[in-house]
Amino acid sequence: MSQGIQQRPQTQRQALPQHAVERIQRSRNAQGQRFFTSDLSVKEFLLVRESGFECAGLVLGSSFYHVGYQRSDWSQNQEMTVLTQAMYQARELAMARMEEEAHELGSDGVIGVRLHVNRHSWGEDLIEFVAVGTAVYARDGSNWRAPNGMPFTSDLSGQDFWMLLKSGYRPVSLVMGNCVYHVAHQSLRGWFKSVGQNQEMPNFTQALYDARELAMERLQYEAQLDGASGVVGTQIHESSHGWDAHVIEFFAIGTSVLPIAMKEAPPAPVLVMTVNE
Nearer to another protein, 16 or 236 (CB): 16
CA dist 218 and 234 (Å) reads 12
CA dist 187 and 208 (Å) reads 18
All residues at 6 or more sequence positions from 101 whose CB lies less than 8 Å from its CB, including other chains: 16, 20, 24, 59, 60, 61, 135
Decide if residue 36 touches another protein (CB under 8 A): yes
Nearer to another protein, 114 or 193 (CB): 114
Decide if residue 274 touches another protein (CB under 8 A): yes
Strands, E, within 161-212: which ranges?
A: 169-182
Smallest CA-to-CA distance from 257 within 223, 225, 217 is with 223
Q: Which of residues 166-205 bind another protein (CB under 8 A)?
A: 166
Decide if residue 67 touches another protein (CB under 8 A): yes
**Region of 21-29, 106-114, 177-185, 231-239 interacting with another protein (CB under 8 A):** 21-29
- CA distances for 207 relative to 190, 199, 248, angstroms: 16, 16, 10
Q: Which of residues 238-267 bind another protein (CB under 8 A)?
A: 267
CA dist 104 and 102 (Å) reads 5
Question: Could you tell me the smallest distance in angstroms from the CB atom of residue 271 to another protein?
Answer: 5
Decide if residue 7 touches another protein (CB under 8 A): no
For residues 69 to 88, the per-residue mask of contacts with another protein, x marking binding by CB under 8 A and - elsewhere, is x------------x--xx--
Question: Site for another protein (CB under 8 A): which residue of 53, 61, 170, 180?
Answer: 61
